[in-house]
Amino acid sequence: MQHRRFGSAGRDISVVGQGTWYIDRAHRASAIAALRRGIDLGMTHIDTAEYYGEAENIVGEAIAGRRDEVFLVSKVMPQNASRAGTIAACEKSLKRLRTDHLDCYLLHWRGAYPLAETFAAFATLKASGKIFSCGVSNFDVADLEEAEAVAGKGEIACNQVLYHLQERAIEHSVLPWCAAHSVAIVGYSPFGHDDFPQAASKGGRVLQEIAGTHGATARQVALAFLVRAAPLFTIPKASAPEHAAENAGAGDLRLSETEIARIDTAFPVGRPRALPML
Ligand code: NAP
């Protein structure tokens, strides 16, 4: 599993991690087994959120006894992101996750509370050791500029954004801004939530061909493309252990420049547009 620096002051973490949205819809034992299999295979970056409900409890169960192996991320919902609300939300997440700290804590998306309130809470949580770093999610460049002005340079570890082969809007300005400011990009819904290109489609055939030359799968090729350079990370969600194992395999797959160019052509970036989100 390839590792890469997470933010300007962060540590090196796995480029392929594990998402958990709707993981509670699967059979609980399967969800826990999938997360554990993923950790065994190096997908130690685990993403969750208070918004995902029971998922935090499932993650807590999956990482019991192995907290130190994991880079654990959770998120506060915007409606809770006042100064006091953020602290209270974090404490509830810690309880569900059965841990005393998060490696990174994010604002899930922008809401009505001023960023100054949320970041003041993040600073308090950091000072008390309840979070080790903080970041944002679904932030476009104007929001990132404002957040950096409020939080200070180097304080925003990551921006978690929608990024998959058929949705590459971040490449116009969000990705370059984050690369220039040493902010990690954590791409979410790498399989389009549940809309992976069909094998028989034009793009699907390109993925299959490249996969064939590596003894890999089309999904592994897609994930490898989505983490092809710093500061990119990806967090596929799998509630089936065999899916987790397949996804972890992408962490060792390196694509050539020619292969990257082929995928780039098959799944074009498209016109600049407002930051999409799920
Ligand atoms: P996703 O990872 O693009 O797709 C998940 C779907 O792909 C599930 O149905 C899963 O099936 C399936 N899958 C996974 N690996 C597979 C494999 N190897 N072969 C076949 N199918 C496979 O969708 P997502 O859950 O929307 O995104 C990933 C994570 O990003 C979320 O879980 C969440 O942590 C994060 N996220 C963040 C935001 C935000 O606003 N910050 C928004 C959306 C998502 P099984 O479950 O059956 O294995």
Q: Which of 76, 185, 237, 277 for mutating ligand 1's site (highest number of atoms within 8 Å of CB)?
A: 237
**Amino acid at residue number 129:** G
Residue nearest to atom 18 of ligand 1 (CA): 243
How much is the pLDDT for 14?
Answer: 98
Question: What local confidence, expressed as pLDDT, does residue 175 receive?
Answer: 98
Question: Whose Cα sits closest to atom 20 in ligand 1?
Answer: 243
What per-residue confidence (pLDDT) applies to 9? Answer: 82
Q: Tell me what pLDDT residue 192 has.
A: 97
Give the span between the Cα atoms of 117 and 123, in whole angstroms: 10
- Alpha carbon nearest to ligand 1 atom 22, residue: 243
Q: How far is the CA of 29 from the centre of ligand 1 (A)?
A: 18
Partners of 22 in beta bridges: none
pLDDT value of position 144: 98
The pTM for the full model equals 0.98
Atom of ligand 1 nearest to the CA of 20: 32
pLDDT of the residue at 220: 98
Q: What is the DSSP string of the chain?
A: --EEE-SSS--EEESB-BB-TTGGGS-HHHHHHHHHHHHHTT--EEE--GGGTTHHHHHHHHTTT-GGG-EEEEEE-GGG-SHHHHHHHHHHHHHHHT-S-BSEEEE-S--SS-HHHHHHHHHHHHHTTSBS-EEEES--HHHHHHHHHHH-TT-EEEEEEE-BTTB-GGGTTHHHHHHHTT-EEEEE-TTTTT-PPPTTSHHHHHHHHHHHHHT--HHHHHHHHHTSSTTEEE--B-SSHHHHHHHHHGGG----HHHHHHHHHHS---S--SPP--
Distance from Cα 22 to the centre of ligand 1, integer Å: 8
For the chain, residues with pLDDT lower than 50 are none
What pLDDT score was predicted for residue 66? 97
Residue 233 φ then ψ, to 5°:
-135, 160
Q: What pLDDT was estimated at residue 99?
A: 98
Q: What is the pLDDT of residue 55?
A: 98
The domains of the chain, with CATH numbers, are 3-198+226-256 (3.20.20.100)
What confidence score (pLDDT) does residue 10 get?
81
Q: Which residues line ligand 1 (CB under 6 A)?
A: 19-21, 26, 47, 108, 137-138, 160, 188-194, 219, 235-240, 243, 246-247, 277-278
